[in-house]
Structure 1
Amino acid sequence: MARVTISLDSDLAIEVMLLTGTRSPQDAVELVVRDYLAAGRRTEARTGDAADAHRVGEERRTPQEG
């Protein structure tokens, strides 16, 4: 997998390290990004995607009374 280098404010990096409980800023940021992506996948799994639009887009017809 290719790697990239990103510059962050030191306060931001320290805060992320404290939240994740890691000693390396690189590991901390990687954990946060992986968690963010996993949360997006969980949301898609619950709500569906564009291919599932046909299920929620149509209103169900109710029989007319009378």
Structure 2
Amino acid sequence: MAARVTVSLDAHLAIEVMLLTGTKNPQDAVELIVRDYLERGRRTEARIGDPDDGSRVSDLQPYQPPEG
């Protein structure tokens, strides 16, 4: 079983999260939001790559407008 953490949250914020996720339990609602946030981050990383990966952009030349 994974470790659990208890976090205090403003009641209005908890209600908004519950409405957004369609859950009746604030714990479940916040967990869904956090999991979604993490998945979005992973998908973004997969699309743009690692920012430390300079080899992806090293071949790019700066834009030079056509002469004439």
TM-score normalised over the length of structure 1: 0.83
Residue 53 of structure 1: how far off its partner (Å): 2.2
| Aligned counterparts of 1:22 and 1:59: Cα–Cα separation in 2 | 47
Once the two structures are aligned, what percentage of the paired residues are identical?
A: 70
Shift >4 Å, 4+ stretches: none
Aligned residues: 60
TM-score normalised over the length of structure 2: 0.80
Which runs of 5 or more structure 2 residues have no equivalent in the other structure?
62-68
Matched, 1:25 2:26: yes
CA RMSD in angstroms, aligned pairs only: 1.3
- Which structure has the highest helix share of the two? 1
Q: Which residue of 2 aligns with 1:63?
A: none
Which runs of 5 or more structure 1 residues have no equivalent in the other structure?
61-66
Deviates more, 1:35-44 or 1:51-60: 51-60
